[in-house]
Amino acid sequence: MNRAVKLILAAALVLLLSGCYDYSEPDEKAWVLAMGLDKGRQNKLTVTAVIAVPKNIAGGGGGQPASGGGGAGGNFFTISMEAPTLLSTLELLDSVVDRRVDLSHTKWFVFSRELAEQGIAGYFAPISRFYQFRRSSYIVVCQERAEDFLAKGVPKLEDNVGKYFELMQRGWRYTEFIPFDSFHQFYLKSESPGVEPVAMLASLNRKAPVFESNSPKPKGWYYAGRIPRRGGGPVEVMGGAVFRKGKMVGILNGDQVGVQKMFFDTFRRTIVDVPDPKHPGRYIIVDVKPRQKPEVEVQIVDGYPQISVDLKLEGDIISIQSGENYTTPDRLHIVEQAVERILLKDINDTVAKSQELETDFLGFGLHAKKLFRTWPEWEEYRWDEKYPGAQIAVNVDYKVRRVGLVHEMAPLR
Amino acid sequence: MTQYKPVVGVSEAVTLLFIFLSSKVFLTHVVFLYHEGLNAAWMIPIIQTSTGLLGLLLLVSVLNKFPGRDLVEIGEELTGPYINLLFALYYLAVFVFGAGMTLRGISEQVVAGFLPDTPISLVVFTFVLGTVVVSYLGVEAVARTARFLLGVMVVTAMALVLLTIPLWQFDAFYPLWGGGLWKLLAGALKNTGDFVQILLLGIIYPFLPVNQVRQIGVRGVIVAGFFLFLYVLAPLLIFTYPSATELTLPSFEMARIINIGRFGQRMEVVFLPVWVFGNMIFLSISLYAGAAVLARLCRLSDYRPFVLSVAVFTTVVAFVPRNALQAAYWNHQYLSQYSFIILAAILVILLLTARAKGKGGDKNEQGG
């Protein structure tokens, strides 16, 4: 008897496990998948929330496919509200949305370029304190107002806009044009002396032509908002927004983002169109991958840094437009040198840009701090002031590893 | 003290000691070491472990002079009831204050990270209820519970660190000496209180295997030092200095940032058991030890009447700080800093008194 009563009492305790105060049903939550921030029109900020409509993501029922888009019956909707701060908007949203708004699944924090150039430190740093926020989300700078960008950015392939945001960012693995840094890295770089962050640059597609002539241009010159294209989804992500002390100070094009990733060892691969040294107007197309981590050596000479970088890369020949037979062991070096020349130009341009912006987004400071014994000595050196005067020498070593499925191509007749 | 004499085996005792010493790594505590050592704060636990070992050897040398008796009894014999009362109150303060601040810390962590709408009082009550039951059952129950959960806790704690390896940034080690060698040494010496919980050995000494106390203590301190080192180092490598100094709960943030593809995210719930079990074992040990000290002071043979009162006392202490931050700061200021020096002073006084009065035998342990 006694034992039975104890068992019943113990079993009754299990009822408490459901947690009466914090019980939370997923179908009573409004999951915010992205937040946008613009300069406000009626208050300090215009905050836009992209809220998922789970029933449409899951499918229409009765064999109906999920409905796409952000309009009526779409898989997400956006709300823009005027508010003094980002997080106070959450309570405002609860006045408009029937379900409780939750940031736990927010993938993107989108800042308009206008706001980013004024400075966003006051907005992104404080959200790291909020328990719903996760450092694995991403900071995006869009060329237009974030409310327009998020409202019109309807994915073509995905029903789930959250997955779309994630997959767009994960493109950093397949293209050099998308920065690697999540909020976590962005935040650390913003706080650490000796390095500055780069955020993803995004835009809605541009209707007007970007360039006036059809003269050849490297594809890596493009960046979001300036990609010549027709068709596809409305959103494009390419290039980066460079920040210094929480303010956006410049834009990197696709190639420059690739160089930034090479220096941080987050570069995976890129395809490079190399002008054929023997056939002007024709290209050799190669892919480029890292062979080793970059070797960076920094010395302080007369108070200023002298930096030497060794980049070891490798890759395959994908195509030779001219049909010239470079694919014999004694002629491969011609291709290798041509690749090294074009990569070196991109790298030197990017290094020059970082010095021109007085912003070490290539992270040389992280190598330089090894020269100092203590943190106060490192801070006293004031790397950010010395970096623009640094002498930087880069050496690129590229090796062809494979030549594709064709060997010693016969010329067309 | 209870009706029969409990027995704590070597592995159970090592487990008890190392969990009692190292469960603090799951709370705010480690952040204070970053303020002392900057990016080289990972060196502080290494120095602290050395000082912890010295303190342990001092404690064992006192205990081994009086086999079968705990520190309170030894103190009474050597210094008399009045001076020993001061010593015992200090022991009680270490256990109750440490338990109170830990109770508040872990409850605040649960509220901040998992149950934001639940009143803190309910969370505290749940922790107290569980720990009172375990500690009421005695040191043997606490030790066996700790030993039973050890595997899960160690594997989970190691997994938490290993899963963050892709996020480690090794440039965080530089400049190598952080704030400088002297600042590091000063920081380590200032925080020797992290090992003040070796005091536990002095309370459970009568139940430990004869001749193996030193071995138990050395193993417990070294394993605890390893986990302290690991949980100071990992957040430094992930969040780097100075950002790491901003974290309220470094181990919680570590769990939140794990990202293994699209589906390997939001894993903090997986690590919830290690935080909860670790701190519940800490609380159970503290309640038991506090009750045992009170029982000795009152010259009672049974500690059990005091478990509930110590639990109430601990709960009151837990609610004295006005907020979570104050609890973390007080724990750091009053327990982690300098408390070890008081313990060392008490042990030296006991040792010198024993020598002066010619009391206690000299027992040489094998091994350890």
> In the beta sheet, which residues pair with residue A31?
A102
A377 contacts: CB under 8 Å, gap ≥ 6: B175
pLDDT, one tens digit per residue, over B237-277 is 999 999 999 999 999 999 999 988 777 778 888 888 889 99
Asked if A19 and B119 come within 8 Å (Cβ–Cβ), the reply is: no
Whole-angstrom Cα distance, residue A23 to residue A27? 12
What count of other Cβ atoms lies within 10 Å of the Cβ of residue A168?
Answer: 23
Asked if A19 and B118 come within 8 Å (Cβ–Cβ), the reply is: yes
3-state SS assignment for residue A156: coil
Output the pLDDT for position A288.
Answer: 95
In this structure, the strands spanning A108-112 and A29-39 are parallel
**Residue B115 is nearest to which of A19, A135, A136, comparing CB atoms?**
A19
B247 contacts on A by Cβ (under 8 Å): none
> What is the CATH classification number for the domain harbouring B165?
1.20.1740.10
Mean pLDDT over all residues of chain B? 91
Q: What separation, in Å, do the N-terminal and C-terminal C-alpha atoms of chain A show?
A: 100
What count of other Cβ atoms lies within 10 Å of the Cβ of residue A12?
Answer: 9
Asked if B121 has any chain A CB less than 8 Å from its own CB, the reply is no
Q: What ranges make up the beta strands (E) of A280-353?
A: 283-290, 295-301, 304-320
What's the ipTM? 0.88
**Residue A375 is nearest to which of B38, B239, B259, comparing CB atoms?**
B38
Q: In this structure, are residues B16 and B238 in contact, taking their beta carbons and an 8 Å threshold? A: no
Distance from the Cα of A8 to chain B's closest Cα (Å) equals 18
**Residue A373 is nearest to which of B119, B175, B266, comparing CB atoms?**
B175
Ranges of chain A with pLDDT below 50: 61-68, 72
Q: Which residues of A touch B (CB under 8 A)?
A: 19, 21-22, 104, 128, 131, 134-136, 163, 166, 182, 184, 187-188, 191-192, 366-367, 369-370, 372-378
pLDDT, one tens digit per residue, over A124-168 is 777 888 888 888 899 999 999 999 999 998 888 888 888 889 888
Asked if B240 and A192 come within 8 Å (Cβ–Cβ), the reply is: yes
Distance from the Cα of B128 to chain A's closest Cα (Å) equals 15
Is B11 a domain residue?
no
Cis peptide bond prior to B175, omega within 30° of 0: yes
Of residues B218 and B3, the one with the higher pLDDT is B218
Among residues A393, A394, A387, A391, the alpha carbon closest in space to that of A366 is found at A387
Output the pLDDT for position B7.
Answer: 81
Asked if B122 has any chain A CB less than 8 Å from its own CB, the reply is yes
What count of other Cβ atoms lies within 10 Å of the Cβ of residue A385?
Answer: 9
Asked if B179 and A136 come within 8 Å (Cβ–Cβ), the reply is: no
Candidates A182, A192, A374, partner chain B, best to mutate (most B CBs within 10 A): A374
Distance from the Cα of B362 to chain A's closest Cα (Å) equals 47
Is B14 a domain residue?
no
A184 contacts on B by Cβ (under 8 Å): 167, 257
Output the pLDDT for position A111.
Answer: 96
- Mean pLDDT along residues B143-172: 94
Distance from the Cα of A163 to chain B's closest Cα (Å) equals 9
- Mean pLDDT along residues B207-233: 94
CA distances from B62 to A386, B5, B195, B203, B361 (A): 59, 22, 17, 12, 10
Number of H helices, E strands in chain A: 13, 14
Closest-CA residue of B relative to A136 is B257
Instruction: Please give the interface size between A and B, counted as residue pairs whose CB atoms are below 8 Å apart.
Output: 74
Judged by average pLDDT, the poorest of A12-16, B156-160, B171-175, B177-181 is A12-16
Of residues B188 and A158, the one with the higher pLDDT is B188
Distance from the Cα of B115 to chain A's closest Cα (Å) equals 6
Asked if B115 and A378 come within 8 Å (Cβ–Cβ), the reply is: no
Q: What angle do CA A79, A85, A90 make, to 5 degrees?
A: 45
Distance from the Cα of B117 to chain A's closest Cα (Å) equals 5
Asked if B175 and A375 come within 8 Å (Cβ–Cβ), the reply is: yes
* CB hemisphere CA count around A387 (13 angstroms): 26
Among residues A162, A241, A135, the alpha carbon closest in space to that of B167 is found at A135
Cis peptide bond prior to B242, omega within 30° of 0: yes
**Residue A375 is nearest to which of B113, B167, B179, comparing CB atoms?**
B179
Give percent of chain B above pLDDT 70: 96
Output the pLDDT for position A287.
Answer: 93
Q: What ranges make up the beta strands (E) of A6-95?
A: 29-39, 45-52, 76-83
Dihedral-angle region of residue A382 (phi above 0 means left; psi in -120 to 50 means alpha; beta otherwise)? left
Spell out the domain ranges in chain A. Answer: 25-256, 269-413
B241 contacts on A by Cβ (under 8 Å): 192, 375
Asked if B175 has any chain A CB less than 8 Å from its own CB, the reply is yes
Candidates B124, B168, B170, B171, partner chain A, best to mutate (most A CBs within 10 A): B171
Give percent of chain A above pLDDT 70: 94
B243 contacts on A by Cβ (under 8 Å): 187-188, 191-192
3-state SS assignment for residue A174: coil
CATH classification (class only), A269-413: alpha beta
The position carrying tokens 């943190």 is A375
Asked if B117 and A22 come within 8 Å (Cβ–Cβ), the reply is: yes
Domain that holds residue B277: 23-357
pLDDT, one tens digit per residue, over B275-322 is 999 999 999 999 999 999 999 988 888 999 999 999 999 999 999 999
Asked if B112 has any chain A CB less than 8 Å from its own CB, the reply is yes
Is B144 a domain residue?
yes
Confidence of residue B338 (pLDDT cuts 50, 70, 90): confident
Rounded to a whole number, what is the largest CA-CA distance in chain B? 70
Closest-CA residue of A relative to B116 is A22
B157 contacts: CB under 8 Å, gap ≥ 6: B227, B231, B274, B278
Output the pLDDT for position A70.
Answer: 55
Among residues A167, A359, A334, the alpha carbon closest in space to that of A260 is found at A359
pLDDT of residue B3 exceeding 60, the answer is no
Whole-angstrom Cα distance, residue B169 to residue B241? 11
Distance from the Cα of A52 to chain B's closest Cα (Å) equals 17
Output the pLDDT for position A209.
Answer: 79
Domain count, chain B: 1
Assign 3-class secondary structure to chain B.
CCCCCCCCCHHHHHHHHHHHHHHHHHCCHHHHHHHHHHHHCCHHHHHHHHHHHHHHHHHHHHHCCCCCCCHHHHHHHHHHHHHHHHHHHHHHHHHHHHHHHHHHHHHHHHHHHCCCCCCHHHHHHHHHHHHHHHHHCCHHHHHHHHHHHHHHHHHHHHHHHHCCHHHCCHHHHCCCCCCCHHHHHHHHHHCHHHHHHHHHHHHHHHHCCCCCHHHHHHHHHHHHHHHHHHHHHHHHHHHCCCHHHHCCCHHHHHHHHCCECCCECCCHHHHHHHHHHHHHHHHHHHHHHHHHHHHHHCCCCCCCHHHHHHHHHHHHHHHCCCCHHHHHHHHHHHHHCCHHHHHHHHHHHHHHHHHHHCCCCCCCCCCC
pLDDT of residue B367 exceeding 70, the answer is no
Whole-angstrom Cα distance, residue A55 to residue A3? 48
Amino acid at A299: Q
Output the pLDDT for position A11.
Answer: 82
Output the pLDDT for position B365.
Answer: 60
A187 contacts on B by Cβ (under 8 Å): 243
